Structure 1
Amino acid sequence: MATARPDIVRLMGARGARSIAQGALVVDFALYVTKLGWSAALLGVVFALSILFAVAVTTLVGPASDRFGRKRFVLVYEAISVLAALIGLLTQATLPLAFAAVIGGFGRGANGSAGPFAPAEQSWLSGLIEKREFGTVLSINTAIGFFGMGIGAVLAGLIGASRPMFVLPLAASLIATMLLALTPDPPREAAARTEGHEAVSKAENSLLWKLAGLNILNGTGIGLSGPFISWWFAARYHAGASAIGPALAIAFAAAGIAALTTGRLTRRLGTVRAVVLMRGIGLVSLFALPFSPSFGVALVVYALRSAFNRGTAGARQAVALGLVRGERRGLAASVNTISVLLPRGIAPALAGVLFESGALAAPFLLAGLFQGAYLVIYPRVFGRHDPSRSA
């Protein structure tokens, strides 16, 4: 089994370490800065700037990693994360803390990925496995991230929304750096410029444009609801970190189980069909969430939504990376990431304004409309490009 190889285990271990810290900050960061006097609108702007920063960096990293190698870029991410965590530990002043949140992605919950440097990490991992294994292995990788975020959410409830929470991202980055330093970056094969090279590249580019268009719908839906979930639980049900932490931990654990389930389904149904089935159930849960009459009911609905929606992340990465040849996977990963991140950089600002005005259901309903459109179009575009059907 590919996942037993030491180099793959180390890459997944680095993801697990990061995910614990990211899970803690999903719970505590919004609550922490709210205690410091930040408004929902300001928090939305910071989330938006964080995502726009990620878009700018991701635009460069994917293609550059195709040319110069993957490892060095992921190590740069860890250095940035160390800097952001140190700022969080050393000051509560608004401007430096906002700067740290932007470059460190505080509170966004990247599921253990290397933030804007994730395209380099994804193409690094994909280069170690066969194409037909993409759906299964990347789903396992995703599951590790969710289980780690669940552990982090529990720790967040124990630590509370306070400055010591920044010890977790600092420790995670140091552990990840050690694991990555021990992992070789295999040499990339030079692109073979055959007679049909230009035609193949043109066809791949067309698919990437279609992927980007669909991801704009998906990313808008994510940005309208995801970053504010901790804030929403507090505003809607008056829940604190001690209750929200375990609640999100359950949701992350459910997503991890769903990711493993999706990985198995890719072998039976195909990757694209597995995505559609799981996300269809998640969409129903998203529409139901804002109408939950109590915190307990909301927790169950959110756990279902998280499981069936987020659990397809690895499978969707597999489809994106499978659209191109190996020497262009950094580019494909960048396009896949950017086209989700860009609308996620705009949508939180709108969601923040809506939440601040008291419209606690509207962002979820809008998110459901965008993600529903995505779900209808996705199989029609990519059904014929399923990596699990590759020889």
Structure 2
Amino acid sequence: MNRDVVFLMTSRISRSVSAGVLAVIVGLYYVHGLHLSLFDVGILFGTGAFITPLLTLILGFYSDRYGRKRILLLTLTFLPLSVLILITTSNFFLLLLSSALGGFGIAGGLVGGGVGAAVAPMQTALLTEKVPPKDRTKVFSLFTIMSSYAGAGGALLSFISSYKLIFEIALAISAISAFIVLPVKESFKPIKRASPEVTKRDNDTIRKFTITGVLNGVSQGLIVPFIPIIFSETYKLPQSAIGELISLGGVISATLMFATPVLTEKLGFVRLIITTRVISAFLVLTFPFLGIPALAAVDYVIFTPLRIISLPAQQALMMNLIGESRRATASGANQAGRLIPSAASTTLSGYIMHAVSVAIPFEVSFVATVANSFLYFKFFRKVDKAVTGQVPITE
């Protein structure tokens, strides 16, 4: 790996450590520290889940026009600012701003878009220009692995009893993620207009990834932000145990992702995503009905890695199919397609869990995940080799 890849990875790792502990603590802080209802939590999570994809879409588009590094640096300041608000105030409207900047409640938890949030399009596009197509699945896997390990390590910080101290640690570590990107050099030069053929091809690819992202966003947004709260309120686990479980889920996810390049090469991206996501869908369906904390814990640490093991292959496929001039736009559109529906489903899920039943969001998530897997089969069954760079791609 060249120096710029190392800098980008270090930035991703430091951001993930902060995101890891915040994924555990923020919801619990809302409920136990500020004594908010699940409905209020749903509004806060929904705000973060709604604003983040809008920022992702806008910033991804403008970074393709004006340069990825400068937009990335701006976006990396959002998380420290959001944590600073949590430290200094309990005003609900400022908490809404904090959630919007920090992306609290976005689907994905410790990994993938959940950690990347609005940063992901610029980071992915910068990384893509540093890595040849045949190596992208491996490098994206390594990035997600290290991010997941870092997120899992961050989750362990939840053993600290003081919310204020945890937020101060998260603030300091997340600030590092911005400073470490300063030496990165960007070689991409914005292209004002691509050929009609390339534009048509890119638009079709963006459309397909956006449509699949919608169902993925619904399935995750319904459940992921509320899992720490469900462990606390339904299964009566203490905060430290919840942090350990979420950390374990992140470690297992990261470890299994070492196999992603090999599994992708042997099974193909489509079979890999269908197999892992359908199994995870059934495990998600059973989660609220298990009754026994130990069974719920086992269920969680199995379905979490299965939901995201194919993510690096999906990123490589998208970057290999999209021309260089629109990679951040494509990544932003995919993020937005996933996270905007997750915003609505997160807000709705908070209301349903509060007023009707904890189980219903998990049932709907099951249906959405199965439908998402079907669409991947429909759209991408003929382009599996592109994920490993075996198909010629016009840059």
Query: Same fold, TM exceeding 0.5?
Result: yes
| Distance in structure 2 (CA, Å) of the matches to 1:103 and 1:230 | 21
Pair 1:14-2:22 in alignment: no
Please identify, of 265-274 and 224-233, the stretch whose mean Cα deviation from structure 2 is larger. Answer: 265-274
- Identity percentage of aligned residues: 27
Post-superposition offset of 1:144? 1.3
Post-superposition offset of 1:10? 1.4
Post-superposition offset of 1:113? 4.0
Q: Is the 8 A contact 2:47 2:99 kept in 1?
A: no
Partner of 2:160: 159
| Distance in structure 1 (CA, Å) of the matches to 2:383 and 2:43 | 37
TM-score, normalised with respect to structure 1:
0.93
Q: Is the 8 A contact 1:20 1:168 kept in 2?
A: no
Spell out the pairing of 1:309-324 with structure 2 (5 A cutoff): 309-324=307-322
Post-superposition offset of 1:134? 2.2
Q: Is the 8 A contact 1:74 1:114 kept in 2?
A: no
Count of aligned residue pairs for this structure pair: 384
Post-superposition offset of 1:189? 6.8
Post-superposition offset of 1:266? 1.9
Deviations 1:24-78 (A, max 9, x none): 1111111111121211111111111112211221121112111211111111122
Letter aligned with residue 151 of structure 2: M
Partner of 1:368: 366
Letter aligned with residue 161 of structure 2: G
Partner of 1:269: 267
Post-superposition offset of 1:192? 8.2
| Distance in structure 1 (CA, Å) of the matches to 2:131 and 2:377 | 25
5+ residue gaps, structure 1? none
Partner of 1:135: 137
Letter aligned with residue 2 of structure 2: R
Spell out the pairing of 1:1-391 with structure 2 (5 A cutoff): 4-35=1-32, 36-108=34-106, 109=109, 111=111, 113-156=115-158, 158-160=159-161, 162-188=163-189, 190=191, 197-386=195-384, 387=386, 388=388, 389-391=390-392
Q: Are residues 113 and 183 of structure 1, via their aligned partners in 2, closer, same or farther at CA, if it must alter by over 3 Å?
A: farther
Deviations 1:81-138 (A, max 9, x none): 2222222122233332332122112354363744213211111111111122222211
TM-score, normalised with respect to structure 2:
0.92
Letter aligned with residue 188 of structure 1: K
| Distance in structure 1 (CA, Å) of the matches to 2:347 and 2:115 | 23
- Aligned residue for 2:180, secondary structure, equals helix
Deviations 1:162-191 (A, max 9, x none): 122212331222211221012212233747
Q: Is the 8 A contact 1:65 1:330 kept in 2?
A: yes
Root-mean-square deviation (CA, aligned residues, Å) is 1.9
Q: Are residues 105 and 296 of structure 1, via their aligned partners in 2, closer, same or farther at CA, if it must alter by over 3 Å?
A: same
Please identify, of 337-346 and 278-287, the stretch whose mean Cα deviation from structure 2 is larger. Answer: 278-287
| Distance in structure 2 (CA, Å) of the matches to 1:206 and 1:8 | 29
Q: Is the 8 A contact 1:57 1:117 kept in 2?
A: no
| Distance in structure 2 (CA, Å) of the matches to 1:382 and 1:216 | 16
Letter aligned with residue 188 of structure 2: P
